[in-house]
Structures are given as C-alpha cells and as structure tokens.
Amino acid sequence: MSNTLIVPENITILPLPPKSPELNPVENLWQFMRDNWLSNRVFKSYDDIVDHCCDAWRKLEDQPWRVMSIGRREWASGF
C-alpha cells in the first residue's frame, strides 16, 4: 500500500499555517460563546460548567444567522 496522496484535479490543496485556530470556524464559535456567555464566571463544579456550556450552545442554536456570520470566510468564497 502506498502512502502517496492522490489529489483530484478539481481540488486545490492550500497550505495552512500550523496552530491557527482562527481558520477553524468551530473555534470561532467557541470563542464567541466564551466572550458572550461563559467568561467572568466562577463555576461550582464540573456539572455546572457543562450546564453553562449547554445553555450557551442552545442560545447559539437559536441564532443561526450568527453561526453563519461567525463561520463565514470571505477569503474562501472566491474559490
């Protein structure tokens, strides 16, 4: 078995810099939730952390337009 990557002609591989979470839309969603609903808190327990994260996620689910705007990459839409 060969370890050679076969790239179809209709796909262009773009090298991304290492350790660049800003290029990952999910990381941007978590950053938004931390900034708006999860920061500046003292959690009582692990379950309290999970409850607050679930609550923040539900708030975000109710705002699909925000998810689209956070995850959108202007530079990627030209491809």
What are the CA-CA distances from residue 51 to residues 11, 31, 79 (Å)? 41, 17, 39
Assign 55 a pLDDT band (cuts: 50, 70, 90). very high
Summarised one tens digit per residue, pLDDT across range 15-47 is 777 777 777 778 888 889 999 999 999 999 999
In a domain, 50, yes or no: yes
Residue numbers of the domain that contains 56: 21-74
Interatomic CA distance for residues 59 and 53, integer angstroms: 10
pLDDT above 70: percentage of residues in the chain: 86
Percentage of the chain lying above the pLDDT 90 cut = 46
Classify residue 69: in a domain, yes or no: yes
What is each CA distance from 53 to 27, 43, 44, 70, in whole angstroms?
A: 14, 11, 13, 18
Q: Looking at the 3D structure of the chain, how many domains does it have?
A: 1
Buried residues in 28-53 as b, exposed as e (16+ CB within 10 A): bbbebbeeeebeeeeeeeeeeeeeeb
Average pLDDT estimate for 49-65: 94
Inside any domain, residue 40: yes
